[in-house]
Structure 1
């Protein structure tokens, strides 16, 4: 999917207003198909995990494709508006005086982030819908999947979460989940060894650890922000998201 979108973007030749609708017509169906494929694979994976973890077959899962794609995973935001944003990046970069090749690449980078986020949103929303239909599952743990994992995801992976809490993400996040049976609570921390390794890494980086909860406030390192469009997002305390007030001219 990412390759298809990249080729469509590079093949436009120009990135003017008139090119937006042409790009949307060629790419939005690809994005929706990618999201629905990811959701279907996620459901199959969680059904398999249900058998492995609980030793019984999963209840029959009903997954509405419209609930795991498009506006449904972005709190009602029209995908056409979402995939106009790379063009806005191009126009803003040109307005700042940068050359077209720089502007086009920044637009391409923005497109890749949007597409990766949409795929991960399809996975997290499908996860929630599937776990809702598996009453024997109460908790889930976050599984690191990528070749490289950010520190935020690494810390989160040491914890267990109630299944009703939608998996927080960040742009480009590729974490998965593993269900935990309903009659067993592993406790808040499920991987003491990894958590200890993170403490040591923090200590090596800043000269002290947070084992006493005072030397380093980990709440300043990992928090869950709520993004109005895509839901729970992992970030650093102090990060904020652009909102209507940021877009209004100063009075």
Structure 2
């Protein structure tokens, strides 16, 4: 059974990364192609990029639903097929905001940088980074929303965990990977997060911390890097280092204590 689920994990992860790569390449090209970023260029970009982004979200949602169904059938071969309304987990359903508005923000970022005296190249880089972060966030939201919707109809799945995917992972994700999340809760994310959300079947709730050794190792690394640490009451200490905040559009977001979201300009968290 373990080898089967490992194979499914690998196939799913590879398919998702392929979608990410193709979507990001296409919209980056659309953003950079005109060589200017005026109002008329925004409309052209939106006509080219928004269908690509929506198609990517729907593909991620479909892959995720199929992956969860296959995992569930390992536990229960007689389980019914998954039913998913793609419109409920993609597009404007993800943020409650028109995607056209969301994908105008890279242009705002670029123009703001120019207004502050930055060079054109630096401003374009800022706009490109904002675009990439927004798109990665939406693709990940399509995944987490799908996990929430599909797993609700799978009673044998008890909770979800974060599985690290990248060659390098930020400390936020590394700490979050030592936690469990109730399956009806969206796993907290940060913009650009590519972690896999995996469902777990268990006979009991193990509590919030599921990998105490790794959590301790992360605290050791924090101490080595910063010269300070606090191991007392580990779950409490976890909240001091990393917390989940409700974001008006994208739901729970992993961030450092002190971060606030006051408006669209604050949505792009450095990664």
Normalising by structure 2, we get a TM-score of 0.83
Cα RMSD (Å) of the superposition?
A: 2.0
* Structure 1 unpaired stretches of 5+: 247-251
Corresponding residue number in structure 1 for 2:102: 82
Provide the rounded CA distance (Å) in 2 between the counterparts of 1:211 and 1:112: 36
1:11 pairs with 2:15: no
More helix by percentage: 2
Would the aligned equivalents of 1:49 and 1:178 in 2 still touch at CA under 8 Å?
Answer: no
What SS does structure 1 have at the residue aligned with 2:262? coil
> 1:142-181 maps to which residues of 2 (within 5 A)?
142-181=162-201
Rounded to whole Å, the distance in 2 between the matches of 1:90 and 1:159 is 37
Matches within 5 A, 1:13-162: 13-52=35-74, 54-74=75-95, 76-162=96-182
CA distance in 1, matches of 2:239, 2:179: 14
Distance 1:235 1:131 in 2: 26
1:217 offset after TM fit, Å?
4.2
| Matches for 1:224-243 after TM superposition, within 5 Å | 224-243=244-263
- SS of 2:158 mapped into structure 1: strand
Secondary structure of 1:140's aligned partner? strand
Is 1:73–1:230's contact at 8 Å kept on the other side of the alignment? yes
Shift of residue 55 of structure 1?
4.8
1:207: how far off? 3.3
1:184 corresponds to: 204
How many residue pairs match? The answer is 242
